[in-house]
Amino acid sequence: MYAAQLRLPKDTSTKEHLERVQSVLDSVQLTNRAHSTIKHLSGGERKRVSIALELITEPNLLYLDEPTSGLDPYRERQIMELLQRLAKNGRTILVTTHSTASLDLCDLLLVMGVGGRLVYFGPPDDALAHFGCTSYNDIYSVVGDTSYQVLRQQRRFWKSDIYKQFGCRRGHSNCASSLAKPQRVSSFGAFGWLSQFWLLCRRYLEIMANDRANVALLLAQAPLIVLIIIFVFPSNSFEAVIGSSDLNPLRHASPILFLLVISAIWFGTSNSVREIVKENPIYIRERMAFLSPSAYFLSKFSVLAVLCVVQCAILIAGVGYWLSWFGVNDIDVLSMFGVLLLASSVGLSMGLLLSSIARSSDQAVSLTPIVLIPQIVFSGMFIPDDAGAVVSIISKLHAAKWAFGSMGYLARVNEKIDSLPVYTILKNGSFEGEVTTKLLAMVALLVTTMITAMLAISSRRGR
């Protein structure tokens, strides 16, 4: 249904979508599996689903690259018989294959040797006699694997009656005179950016709803981090009073804020780092059907951002409640939640960027520490203010630097330390300055990362 809504013209009604989908399911004999998810289908059924997706638009020409690879002989025969039925309904279907078990179902057979040289084109039955073979498998050895052998077979084909009947009749001169001038393909499937965006959001939400285990695991991260912080840090960590211990409880304030910021960035990155690369075959297919890369990217970003909102809300609510809301007013607590959400959004866009440039899900996961560890190092928690100009410039390119500074500013950490002069050594320079500047810097990083990710997705091709 989603493929039909993406590819068919805008004025196609819901009823027509349903009828078209039902017709395609009937043609590929998948009606009895209409309500099954892909993971519950066999290999042959998945191949038929792939073919069905292309049949949605009723193409006159269908080109399939090894559609039977990896299937057992029975399933392979089923697929080839299906293609034969589709061809009899008026379609031209080209199939590349190394399997020879079902070549008898083809109307015409084209054999190519090393270098792409044509060594046979004609009926499959005549191929055996032409090559002097008793089975199609023997053709491989007759054609050979050297240029000399292939060239000899090509010249032999040129002299045959089959070439005169099928090769000459389909020669370049005849084709050139009969073909009309190529026309620009109409983007009939591109029925508006907003429509595509909304449709992709709905589809992604449905995919996530069907993957409850993974979503539950992602949502469980925030409560777990809250429990760890509550277990480790005392509830008076943001109180500006001298405790019974040798140091003021405010010594815990900076580490807690640091953990909140890094956790938020981690949420966004881990939520998204596999989401583009794992759908690469689907994306490439739909990209050829006029899918907007920006609509695709923003649908991912928007749905995952909702997940980040829930995670950051759990984080700030759980830790904030334990720490008496950081000893600040309600507006500042809401502002701290906004800072975490913005930091998580930067992490989300970084994850989508990694997913856009990675070649596999494993590679995307392997790249994650490369972007997260610098966020930790350059956050302002560990590097002193006088670390040097180069380090200062590099740190400003990291969202954790600005988010950490904003959190400390909103929590009034330095102000509370000033009320206890003996502990001024605990002050952090990252907490100084206007919070507006820090927020604008994070917004700039977010926009830059999103644009870079969209460019990476737009240039993504089959890999």
Q: Is residue 131 classed exposed, middle or buried when 0-12, 13-18 and 19+ CB atoms within 10 A define those classes?
A: buried
Mean pLDDT over 404-410 rounds to 89
Q: What is the pLDDT of residue 70?
A: 78
Q: What does the alpha-carbon distance between residue 318 and residue 325 come to, in Å, rounded to a whole number?
A: 9
pLDDT digits (tens, 9 = 90+) for 19-47: 889 988 888 888 888 888 888 888 888 88
Q: What is the pLDDT of residue 35?
A: 87
pLDDT digits (tens, 9 = 90+) for 280-300: 888 888 887 778 899 999 999
Q: Percentage of the chain surpassing pLDDT 70?
A: 89
Vertex 90: Cα angle to 86 and 38 (nearest 5): 30
pTM: 0.79
Contact assessment for residue 83 and residue 93, using Cβ atoms and an 8 Å cutoff: yes
Contact assessment for residue 226 and residue 319, using Cβ atoms and an 8 Å cutoff: yes
Q: What is the pLDDT of residue 309?
A: 95
Q: Which domains does the chain have, with CATH numbers?
A: 2-173 (3.40.50.300), 193-458 (no CATH)
User: Bigger pLDDT: 427 or 451?
Assistant: 451
Q: What is the pLDDT of residue 50?
A: 86
pLDDT digits (tens, 9 = 90+) for 325-381: 988 888 989 999 999 999 999 999 999 999 999 888 889 999 999 989 999 988 888
Q: What is the pLDDT of residue 170?
A: 53
Residues in the chain: 463
Binning pLDDT at 50, 70 and 90, where does residue 425 land? Answer: low
DSSP one-letter string for 335-370: HHHHHHHHHHHHHHHHHHHHHHH-SSHHHHHHHHHH
Q: What does the alpha-carbon distance between residue 140 and residue 133 come to, in Å, rounded to a whole number?
A: 10
Q: What is the pLDDT of residue 313?
A: 95
